[in-house]
Amino acid sequence: MWLEILLASALGFAIYWFVSRDKDKEETLPTEYGWWGPGTRPTPGEDESIRPFKVETSDEEINDLHWRIDKTRLRPPLEESYFHYGFNSNYLKKILSYWRNEFDWKKQVDIINKYPHFKTKIEGLDIHFIHVKPPQLPAGRTPKPLLMVHGWPGSFYEFYKIIPLLTDPKSHGLSDEHVFEVICPSIPGYAFSEASSKKGFNSVATARIFYKLMLRLNFEEFYIQGGDWGSLICTNMAQMVPSHVKGLHLNMALILRNFSTLTLLLGRRFGGLFGYTERDLELLYPLKEKVFYSLMRESGYMHIQATKPDTVGCALNDSPVGLAAYILEKFSTWTNSEFRNLEDGGLERKFSLDDLLTNVMLYWTTETIVSSQRFYKENLGQGLTAEMHERIKVQVPTGFAAFPSELIHLPEKLVRFKYPKLLSYSYMPRGGHFAAFEEPELLAQDIRKFVGQVEKQ
C-alpha cells in the first residue's frame, strides 16, 4: 500500500512539474497591424467611421429558400438509430415543415433589429457588431463595458436573451449593482462581418481587430466574455493587451498544452494529488465514456474543417436543408450528450425552433458557412499546440463557469495553470456548450458574481 502511495506521489509530482513547467511569463502577444481585405492596403489609411446597419430580407430570398426546401431528398434513418448516426431525418422532416410553412423570417429579422447594429472597417474588413446600452442607470453610475464573443456554429444572436439581464437588471428583478454596456461583434467570416480575403486569419488576428473595435468605441478598459471560439479570442485579447482587460470570463477554455492524458488516467484513483474535487470526478469519469468516446463522437466535423473546409462547404452553402442538419445536430449533442438517445435529439427541450432556425438563417442568408469553417483550418491547421499563444499564460483576473454538459470538463486546477489569476470558478447546476443561448440567467449571474469580485480588488 505504501509503495503504491509513494509511486502515485512521485507520478503526481512529475506530472505537476510537466504541466506547470512554463513560468508565469509576462510575455504578451504582438499587436502589429494586419491587412485582410482584398488587394493591398490602401494609402492613406482606411475609413474608421462607425455606420448604422440594419438587417434586411426580401421576398426573393424567402422564395428561393422555400424552393430549395421543396426540392429536398431525404433518406430514411436506420431503425432505432435516434441521433447516433447524426441528424435523424424523420425529425428533420418536422423541422423542414415548420421552416417551410410556419417560420416567419421577416418577423425574426425585426427581432434581430431590436438591438442597434453597426459596421466599421478594421484591417480591411467590414466588422459587424451590436452595441446595447442600458436603458436606465442609477444616478452617478456609469455602465461597465462588456465584449461578448460567440463561436461556431453560433452567432451574435446567441446573446439576445442574456443582454437584457446585463444591461437592464432591475427590470428583471436583479440587483443594479453591476450594469453593463454590451458589445457583441460577429467574428469575421460569420454572419455580417466580412470574411478575410487572405490566408492565415486566426483567433489572434480576430482578437486584435476586436481590441481595436473597443478602442474605436472609446473604451480603454473593459470586460470580455466568451465560449467556444469566443473563449480563445477573448483569451488572446487578454494575452495581447492585459492592461486594457479588467476581467476575462469564460464558459469554455481551450487548454491543449497542459492537458495531460496521464493525469486523466490516474485522476480517478489519485484525484486528490491533482486537486480534483468529487464533482470533478463525477464529470470526468468513467473516462472512456466522458472523455475519449465523447471526443471521438463529437470531433469529426473539426477534422474536416481543419483540413478541407471548402469541400463540404460547397454542399452546405448550396443546400439549406443540409446546412440546417449540420448546424442543428451540434445544438443537440453539444447541449447534452444524452440527447443522442432521443428521436428528436432533444432540440426543443432547451431551444425554440424559431431561435434555432434564426441562427441557421444567419449562415444561410449571408453565405458564410464556408468562411466560418475556414477559421478551424487557420487556427488548427498547423497542429494543436503550434501557436505562440499556447505558451503564454493569462495575467488578468479570470472567471470560469463550468457547465456540466460541456463537451469536456476542465477542473479548476487545470484552468488555473493557464489562468493563474483565476478569481472565480463555478460548478454550474445545469447547461452545456451554448451557455448564453441555453441558460442566460445562470451565465448572467456568474458574470455578475465575477465582476463583483474584480471590483472589490
C-alpha cell at 309: 473546409
* Contact residues for 11 (Cβ-Cβ < 8 A; gap 6+): 262, 266, 270
Identity of the residue numbered 9: S
Question: For the chain, what is the largest distance between any 2 Cα atoms, rounded to a whole number of angstroms?
Answer: 76
For position 291, what pLDDT does the model report? 81
* Cβ atoms of residues 125 and 188 within 8 Å: yes
Please tell me whether residue 401 adopts helix, strand or coil conformation.
strand
pLDDT of 13 above 80: no
pTM exceeds cut of 0.85: yes
Q: What does pLDDT average to over the chain?
A: 91
pLDDT in tens, 260-306: 566 777 767 767 777 899 999 999 998 888 887 788 899 999 999 99
Q: How far apart are CA 148 and CA 150, in angstroms?
A: 7
For position 384, what pLDDT does the model report? 64
For position 14, what pLDDT does the model report? 43
Identity of the residue numbered 403: F
For position 44, what pLDDT does the model report? 79
Q: Which residues are catalytic?
A: 228, 376, 433
* Contact residues for 399 (Cβ-Cβ < 8 A; gap 6+): 247, 248, 249, 250, 422, 423, 424, 425, 426, 446, 447, 449, 450, 453
pLDDT in tens, 117-157: 999 999 999 999 999 999 988 888 899 999 999 999 999 99
- C-alpha dist (Å) from residue 414 to 29, 38, 305, 343: 22, 41, 27, 36
Local confidence band at 351 (pLDDT 50, 70, 90 cut-offs): very high
* Cβ atoms of residues 409 and 283 within 8 Å: yes
C-alpha cell at 55: 438587417
For position 415, what pLDDT does the model report? 95
Q: Which CATH number fits domain 53-256+272-456: 3.30.365.10, 3.40.50.1820, 3.40.109.10, 3.40.190.80?
A: 3.40.50.1820
Beta bridge partners of 25: none
Using alpha carbons, select from 417, 419, 382 the residue that is nearest to residue 399: 419
* Contact residues for 224 (Cβ-Cβ < 8 A; gap 6+): 146, 147, 148, 149, 234, 237, 238, 245, 247, 248, 249
Q: Mean pLDDT over residues 240-258, rounded?
A: 91
For position 9, what pLDDT does the model report? 40
* Cβ atoms of residues 231 and 256 within 8 Å: no
